[in-house]
Amino acid sequence: MCAIGRAHYKKAMNTPALTPFEAHIRHATLVEQVTRWDRLYHSEDSPEVDDATYDSAKREMLAIEADYPELAKNSPTAKVGAAPSEGFGKVRHAVPMLSLDNAFADDDVREFVGRIRRFLALAPDAPIALVAEPKIDGLSISLRYENGIFVQGATRGDGTEGENVTENLKTLASLPRRIDNAPAVLEVRGEVYMTKADFLALNQRQEAAGDKIFANPRNAAAGSLRQLNKDITASRPLSLFAYAMGEVSEPVADSHAQFLDKLTQWGFPTNPLATRCDDVDAVIAFYHGIGERRAGLPYDIDGVVYKVDRFDWQQRLGFVSRSPRWAIAHKFPAEQATTVLERIEIQVGRTGALTPVAHLVPVNVGGVVVARATLHNEDELARKDVRVGDTVIIQRAGDVIPQVVGPVLNLRPADAQPFVFPVTCPICGAHAVRGEDEAIRRCTGGLTCKAQVKERLRHFVSRNAFDIEGLGDENIEFLIEGGWIAKPADIFRLETRNAQGLQRLQNFKGWGEKKVTKLFAAISNRRTIALERFIYALGIRQVGEATAKRLARHYGSFALWRQAMLDAIPRENEAYHDLISIEDIGPAVATDILAFFDEAHNLDALDDLAAQLTILDAQAPIATNSPVAGKAVVFTGELTAMTRQEAKARAESLGAKVVGSVSKKTDYVIAGPGAGSKLAEAEKLGITVLTEQEWLALINPVV
């Protein structure tokens, strides 16, 4: 999400201003919640919150990020899906499968079109055609064809890697096995879903057989496709809509509308309601028309997707973080119902945050049975004054767990008492304290609290961190409770401990020689790790994947990064200013990084872990034949040939490091009209200053 988009979310949220401290605490809480929700939804087909709650949390994060952009890189707004399940083979997507930014009002859509116009520097009256398509509530998939033959199918996974579900997809009658007149390589993307009628019939069969009842069609479709036994998939009534293009060996269309026509010619089912619209008014009219017809459609939809029609514009627009600039999902509003709150449970998260969860009398809301809802935090619970026994208003927008809007006061039982938030951790019994001006209460148990140990180690071994197969939640919990591991470095000593101890893992139920051998091999394979993954795996607050990559590329090696952070701790020195000059790393992010390094026990754990590993130096993402690969670049002043956003994106795609301020380590300053203090500093330090045209000549040399 670009800065303009975040500012729009801030305006849309209309939330009261937060102090920097309050903003960072609230953002950290939201990151923890949404990360958990993503894992449950994408990896376990067991969503914990409804779309309304999820979207509301993301909108609040974006509003905070409008004021504190440095928080954006640790945000789930920059991530896609979740890691593939260990039960399937993995497929790396040649072209990432991105998630979509969301719009919730007509004005959001108009702002989306306005951002496109500004990014491409189009005239105010220049037409921008969009294709509007119903947003199917199913499971995103990728279909690869080679020489017209279907050879591989995969789920979206985390956007970079998905699950290999080729054999399961072959059971779909609507999937073409062979297509004529296709390019040598063609990747088609779409959605596997279940119609409302098929969903009801499946649940009737499941109930009659005493099997699991699915909560909604989306869960049924995802659970049916992600079966290790393809015969189960074959027995389920799954449908398919194709709607997008991934990797292709040669162009097949000039626009999205043309590509949809091509898909139909090849025999793929496409949504007949998809419509090319000439302007923003037309797409908004389409949205409201579909909304009126929504209940009568044979399948669930949770909004409408708008895509820029021209492929050349899509290519220029590119993507920001994990969302394309050229597409957006216009979501439908939530549905509401009432039910009774039976009890409130306190859950403990990875950082020790205590989160209240409402357990409800199950109720059907828009065709979905819901039974639990998050109450977010102590303040939110107190503000709504929700009590056990209350009849509460809940709302949802297409998933399982609703948002609690508030109590129906005239139905409150006479003996209902305000909920007393605990002052001790329900997991370990340690004190749960709330700092001054903090929005959340946290367990002080640290590594003595099983809830935190498990979640911290789960993050460490997760897909985008160390990616150790065989260390899923169940096995992590077993190893912790059995005293086998308590910190990251213990994982890499596990094989030695197993060999030398009196007990052997392979003798425990559910393990065995083969499983243990595979686990030790997986751990051994991760003794060599990329620097960016190592940094991300440490779980430093505000250091997400993107920030870890920037740190790795900037410092190059673990030793240099470690020493630079120690040197920067005193602040207001060259090392500190070098740190905050990195793009999107401001003082707030730097504070959290340096706080990590300022703790002796963190350094001990860091060095203990590093001693077990080979940490690879960072590599530039682009081939070294780029003239600016590895160069630190600062843009200042006005650009005329392209917007500042496009210029930065182009520089980074060529391997340059775009930094926010000038220092001795800066290689180029690109100065346009109106350049001020940065230009003066560059001239003072003797750094190469280029005009915009000189910069373009450098990165686009005439052959």
What is the residue type of 518? K
Tokens of 413: 């039982």
How much is the pLDDT for 396? Answer: 67
- Is the per-residue pLDDT at 4 higher than 50? no
List C-alpha distances in Å: 296 to 18, 196, 285, 346: 43, 10, 18, 40
How much is the pLDDT for 211? Answer: 81
Residues whose CB is less than 8 angstroms from the CB of residue 201 and which lie 6 or more positions away in sequence, other chains included: 237
446-491+493-526 and 530-616 share one fold? yes
SS3 sequence of 456-503: HHHHHCCCCCCCCCCCCHHHHHHHHHCCCCCCHHHHCCHHHHHHHCCC
- Is the per-residue pLDDT at 472 higher than 80? yes
- Is the per-residue pLDDT at 362 higher than 60? yes
Q: What is the pLDDT of residues 595-641, one digit of tens each?
A: 778 877 778 889 999 999 999 998 755 445 788 888 889 999 888 88
- Is the per-residue pLDDT at 13 higher than 70? no
Look at strands 319-320 and 323-324 and give their pairing. antiparallel
List C-alpha distances in Å: 647 to 658, 660, 666, 693: 10, 14, 17, 12
Q: What pLDDT band is residue 21 in, cutting at 50, 70 and 90?
A: low
How much is the pLDDT for 386? Answer: 95
Q: What is the pLDDT of residues 177-225, one digit of tens each?
A: 999 999 999 999 999 999 989 998 998 898 888 887 887 888 889 889 9
How much is the pLDDT for 49? Answer: 63
Strands annotated E in 285-334: 301-308, 319-320, 323-324, 327-331
How much is the pLDDT for 398? Answer: 45
Q: Return the CATH fold of 530-616.
A: DNA polymerase; domain 1 (1.10.150)
Q: What is the Rg, in whole angstroms, of the alpha carbon atoms belonging to the chain?
A: 26
Q: Return the CATH fold of 446-491+493-526.
A: DNA polymerase; domain 1 (1.10.150)
How much is the pLDDT for 595? Answer: 76
Mean pLDDT of 535-556: 87
- Is the per-residue pLDDT at 229 higher than 50? yes
Average pLDDT, the chain: 85
Instruction: Reduce the DSSP state of residue 80 to 3 states and report it.
Output: coil
Q: Which of 23-27, 157-161, 265-269 has the highest mean pLDDT?
A: 265-269
Backbone φ, ψ for residue 539 (5° rounding): 75, 25
CATH architecture of 90-331: 2-Layer Sandwich (3.30)
Instruction: Reduce the DSSP state of residue 78 to 3 states and report it.
Output: helix
**Kind plus residue range of the DSSP H or E element containing 161:** strand 161-163
279 vs 277: CA distance, rounded Å: 6
Mean pLDDT of 469-490: 90
- Is the per-residue pLDDT at 363 higher than 60? yes
Burial 84-118 (b: 16+ CB within 10 A, else e): bbeebebbebeebbbbbbbbbeeebbbbbbbbbee
Q: What is the pLDDT of residues 84-130, one digit of tens each?
A: 445 578 899 999 888 888 898 999 999 999 999 999 999 988 999 99
What is the residue type of 373? A
Q: Taking the CB of residue 346, how many other CB atoms lie within 10 A of it?
A: 18
Higher pLDDT, 136 or 435: 136
- Is the per-residue pLDDT at 572 higher than 80? yes
Mean pLDDT of 560-582: 91
Higher pLDDT, 23 or 141: 141
- Is the per-residue pLDDT at 551 higher than 80? yes
Q: Which of 73, 135, 262, 657 is catalytic?
A: 135
419, 344 contact by CB (below 8 A): yes
**pTM for the complete prediction?**
0.50
Q: What share of the chain in percent tops pLDDT 90?
A: 45
- Confirm whether 518 is a catalytic residue: no
Q: Which of 15-24, 277-286, 675-684 has the highest mean pLDDT?
A: 277-286
- Is the per-residue pLDDT at 243 higher than 70? yes
217 vs 367: CA distance, rounded Å: 10
Instruction: Reduce the DSSP state of residue 360 to 3 states and report it.
Output: strand
What phi-psi label fits residue 430: left (phi over 0), alpha (psi between -120 and 50 degrees) or beta?
Answer: beta
Higher pLDDT, 4 or 342: 342
Higher pLDDT, 137 or 271: 271
Q: What is the pLDDT of residues 496-513, one digit of tens each?
A: 999 998 889 999 988 999
Q: Please state the length of the chain.
A: 703
| CATH 1.10.287.610 for the 12-78 domain, yes or no | yes
Q: Return the CATH fold of 335-433.
A: OB fold (Dihydrolipoamide Acetyltransferase, E2P) (2.40.50)
409 vs 302: CA distance, rounded Å: 31
Give the relative orientation of helices 450-460 and 473-481 as an angle to the nearest 10 degrees.
Answer: 130
652 vs 629: CA distance, rounded Å: 9
Max CA-CA distance within the chain? 83
- Is the per-residue pLDDT at 666 higher than 80? yes
Q: What pLDDT band is residue 2 in, cutting at 50, 70 and 90?
A: very low
The domain segmentation of the chain, as residue ranges, is 12-78, 90-331, 335-433, 446-491+493-526, 530-616, 632-699
Could you tell me which CATH class the domain 632-699 is placed in? alpha beta
Strands annotated E in 318-475: 319-320, 323-324, 327-331, 335-348, 354-365, 368-374, 391-396, 403-407, 432-433, 442-443
